[in-house]
Structure 1
Amino acid sequence: MKVAVLYGGTSGEREVSLSTGQGIIKALKNKGHEVTGIDFSPKRISEVLQLDVDLVFIGLHGRYGEDGRIQGLLDMLEIPYVGSGVLASALAMDKAKSKQIFSSNGIQTANSKTYDVSNSDWHKGIQEDVKKSFSLPFVIKPNQEGSTLGLTIVKEENQIAEAIKTAAKSDSIILVEDYVGGREVTVPVVGHKGSERALPVIEIIPKNDYYDFDSKYKPGGSEHIVPAKVDSSLTDQLQREAVLAHQLLGCDVYSRVDFIINENNQPIILEVNTLPGMTPTSLFPDSAQEIGWSYDDLIQKFVELSVAGKKQKV
């Protein structure tokens, strides 16, 4: 097939996307596809408009890639692509909206509140409301951003102002939520709509205090335990809730669902990643390896599911 890979982008996750894109391009070539790589930017949209391919593989992360915008463009151009559509992508990217959907369907989330920080004159009032609404420690982060960019774990009140300012650099809406300590796990999900399966649960042991950008993407930044050392009933619950979260948002082909297992051994959902990292140190490929899928096999699986799904729609 003729496949275009969009990677790079303009978000704070550009460097990760460059690595993801190179991995995907290599895997597709290894599987015999004719591949065109595009380091995407909205300023170079003409390259997408002129595409003559059978399929687009989106290797972008963050804004313009993971938020539904590029998916909308490809839909209008009637070019099939790998992964979730416009609405599922946008919902997953909007942490507050997705948390509302999860909690109303029985998936436990951390208590949270959103604030509009587009006007710096409002920040003082927001600080006061945060102090009244949350007990230390708590988390302040952009509502729509990935890879923990702009996130602060607030342990002292004098950190609030700076944490708001940091999060506001990435988004006009910030999310403040209770800090949930515990074991960090993630569950990859793959399959056609309605018949998805969860892959083995991965436990993440970061070298830093929490699973931050460096822990995710620097070699040796974290240890991945696959399968996670949790009992069978908790494993079943994590996998069941991961598939449910994927389905509730309307995700397609693949996603990765992040949880914290709290001190009471209960899973608290963090977010759904519709375009999880596919770098050499990424989590999804590690889990796939556990069931015998190589990196190349995994990428090919996504292509086959996407093509089959397109035929079903027609």
Structure 2
Amino acid sequence: MKKNIAVVMGGYSSEVAISMKSGSVAFKHLDKEKFNPYQVHILPNKWVVIDNNKEYEIEKKDFSFFKGDKKITFDCVFNAIHGSPGEDGKLLAYFELINMKHTSAPFYQMALTFNKRDTLSAVKHYGIPTAESVYLNKGANYTTSEIIEKVGLPCFVKPNNAGSSFGISKIYKEKNLSKAIDKAFKEDSEILIESFLDGIEVSVGVIEYKGEVTVLPITEIVSENDFFDYDAKYNGKSEEITPARLTKFQETKVKEMAKKVYTILNMTGFSRSEYILVKDVPHFLEMNTVPGLTEASILPKQAKEYGIELSELFNNSVQQSLNK
């Protein structure tokens, strides 16, 4: 009997539109011979199944819905929600409470990796190189001179819990720092200020594939803009080169570190992490646990280079979850 799969998309953050695209692609490519996929929109004002252009409200007590008199339950959830509540652990905690299988890591790992500050603290404990950084909570007192003294110029100002480069600024002069901090605080109540690392920027996907932790081919990021911002990511203002133009030594170092970070953070499911290679040493920036999943997104392109087509990528993810 075919399994019912809920492809959840949407969310409560600035990444709703991007999530809808990822979810729609996953829904389209899941094997209809093996699964009965359903599009499920998780939004602040409603949780609904979209079936033949009709909406059916989700019963939150067990994540089911009624179609007429028939109650339909799900065997597994494919998580395509970027940002909250799909990538920060909240929705996954709910699924684990009701014993619903899902394609993401456990809720604690999702919450940890969504918090850039806490992720950096965790990986530093294992000797993973990172940029110098300063953390600020909203309302905290700070002096721009003390921040610059620690991280230097240029530097990056980032929301601590946000994705798709929303709220990020690159600062060259101290006088612009306060404005960038205010911008980041519009996205999150916690922010991260990091030193600029001058080197090769790469992105590397690590997934569970057929029961094994698998490092996908590396992508080199060459942005037309000053950094890999929203415009560069989604509006074609960057060149994403897969496989990356690295030496064999550099490639080996990045893959070893990417697998180590995935393992020490106790990850499962999809991940895509960003690194800067400084003098052949990869410096960890952040991990995305619900990366973009459209045909044009980085991780699916890496999977294709590895020999995994979209349908197989998504089917494998669901099957891995069903097997647990």
Return the TM-score normalized by structure 2: 0.88
Q: 2:205·2:217 contact (CA, 8 Å) conserved in 1? A: yes
1:279 corresponds in structure 2 to: 294
In the other structure, the counterpart of 1:95 is: 116
Is 1:65 the counterpart of 2:67 in the alignment?
Answer: no
1:259, CA displacement in angstroms? Answer: 0.6
- Gapped regions of structure 2 (runs ≥ 5): 48-56, 65-72
| SS at 1:136 equivalent | coil
Residue 116, structure 1, aligned to residue 137, structure 2: yes
User: What residue is the counterpart of 1:7 in the other structure?
Assistant: 9
Secondary structure at the aligned position of 1:253 is classed as coil
Deviations 1:256-290 (A, max 9, x none): 1111112x222111111111110222111111111
Kept after mapping to 2: 8 A contact 1:24/1:278: yes
Alpha carbons 1:202, 1:227 under 8 Å: kept = yes
Q: State the distance in 2 between where 1:30 and 1:188 align.
A: 26
Q: Deviations over 1:79-113 (max 9, x none)?
A: 10002111110110111111111111121100112
Q: Would you say 1:233 and 2:249 are equivalent positions? A: yes
The alignment's C-alpha RMSD in Å is: 1.8
Cα distance between partner residues in 2 of 1:193 and 1:111: 37
How far apart are 1:133 and its partner, in Å? 2.8
Deviation at 1:223, TM superposition (A): 2.0
- Percent of counterpart pairs with the same letter? 30
Which sections of structure 1, spanning at least 5 residues, go unmatched? none
User: CA contact under 8 A between 2:220 and 2:240: conserved in structure 1?
Assistant: yes
Task: Tell me if structure 1 keeps the 8 A contact 2:31–2:315.
Answer: no
Instruction: Choose between structure 1 and 2: higher helix proportion.
Output: 1
Residue equivalent to 2:273 = 257
Letter in 2 for 1:153: K
Map 1:32-51 to 2 at 5 A.
Answer: 32-45=34-47, 47=58, 49=60, 50-51=63-64
Distance 2:270 2:149 in 1: 39
Q: State the one-letter code of the partner of 2:318.
A: V
Moved more, 72-81 or 189-198: 189-198
Q: Match of 1:197, SS?
A: strand
C-alpha distance in 1 between matches for 2:211 and 2:40: 32
The answer on whether the counterparts of 1:30 and 1:296 sit within 8 Å (CA) in structure 2 is: no
Check the 8 A contact 1:74/1:80 in 2, yes or no: yes
Cα distance change, pair 35–146 in 1 and its aligned pair in 2 (3 A): same
Match of 1:149 in 2: 166
Cα 1:192–1:200 shift into 2, 3 Å: closer
Counterpart of 2:231 in structure 1: which amino acid? Answer: D
Quote the Cα distance in structure 1 between the aligned partners of 2:211 and 2:264: 11
* 1:139 alignment counterpart: 156
Partner of 1:213: 230
Distance in 1 between the 2:33 and 2:298 partners? 22
1:292 is aligned to 2:307: yes
In 1: Cα distance, 2:59 partner to 2:192 partner: 33
Secondary structure of 2:74 counterpart:
coil
SS in structure 2 at match of 1:40 = strand
Say which SS state the counterpart of residue 254 (structure 1) adopts. Answer: coil
- 1:144-177, Cα deviation, whole Å (9 max, x unpaired): 1111111111101111111110011111111111
- Which structure has the highest strand share of the two? 2
SS in structure 1 of the partner of residue 128 of structure 2 = coil
Aligned length: 303
TM-score where L is the length of structure 1: 0.91
Look up the equivalent residue of 1:224 and give its one-letter code: E
2:46 counterpart SS class:
helix
